[in-house]
Structure 1
Amino acid sequence: MEYYFNVYIAYSEYQHYYSGAAANVVVTSDQGLRLQIPASRFRPFLSHLGIRGRFKLVTDANHKFQSLMRVA
């Protein structure tokens, strides 16, 4: 399954996730579904601005994580 969503997390806010104080990032997909994604999955996308952009989450039929990529 594929889910598309936008994310904006300021660098200072993401420090809570990076330190482990918050384990998951909750987003709303374009389909209106709330998705809970481990914060560690966003680390490759962290810049000095934080995390921002449009993403695609791919899961298997059992809703297990397959991949996360920035699409814009």
Structure 2
Amino acid sequence: MSNHHYIRFRLNLGYDQFLAVYQGIAKTVVARADDGRNISFPAGNIQRYLSKNGIQGYFELELTEKNKFIAIKKLD
């Protein structure tokens, strides 16, 4: 049986905002989860969802019971 935790959140980052990651200015993404918690994770974990419009959508973060990153997926 899995003791993984799932955290859902919405992101609306413009391309220029995410560009700071490539420039080395930003290394993490901070978002407010649906349950009100502030979460942060390495920006590289969500980079594959970057488009010319930035990163927009509803996401689910999967963590181990010790809060180690497993995966992130886009839900919409």
TM-score bracket, normalised by the shorter chain, equals over 0.9
Larger Rg: 2
Residue ranges of structure 1 left out of the alignment (5+ in a row): none
Give the drift of 1:29: 0.5
Q: CA RMSD in A?
A: 0.7
- What percentage of residue pairs aligned between the two structures are identical? 28
Give the drift of 1:11: 0.4
Give the drift of 1:61: 0.4
* Residues matched between the structures, number: 72
1:32 corresponds in structure 2 to: 36
The equivalences for 1:52-71 within 5 A come to: 52-71=56-75
1:13 corresponds in structure 2 to: 17
So what's the TM-score if we normalise by structure 1? 0.95
Give the drift of 1:19: 2.1
One-letter amino acid of the structure 1 residue matched with residue 15 of structure 2: Y
Residue ranges of structure 2 left out of the alignment (5+ in a row): none
